[in-house]
Structure 1
Amino acid sequence: MSKGWGWWFLAGFAVWTFFAVQWTEVGCDYPEAYLAVIRFGTPEGLEFLPACAG
């Protein structure tokens, strides 16, 4: 992997983690939070969160 691709991968993972932390603040565990970013994007308000519903 070239240096350019490594930096893009690292930057993408940092953004993904930033959004996952938003899900953990509304009650998701970390594995659920990372999947919620892919499935639902970012949490919006205090509406029902299907990503974290047991």
Structure 2
Amino acid sequence: MSEKLVNIESIGSFFESLSDPRHLRNRKHLLGDIIVISVCGLICGCDGPTAIHRWAAER
């Protein structure tokens, strides 16, 4: 099976049009970034928010 590289920026641009329901003072990170990191973490086997956080912090 050949490995295909994907440009993460193009995946992130898909989520740019989502409205962010969080209050402005609670927006430390962009909603699209959080979604992309979460999806990537799940693909890599993370089973919840804590595991996704640990996985993301290691990268």
TM beyond 0.5: no
- TM class by shorter chain equals 0.3 to 0.5
TM-score of the two chains, using structure 1 as the length reference: 0.42
* Higher share in helix: 1
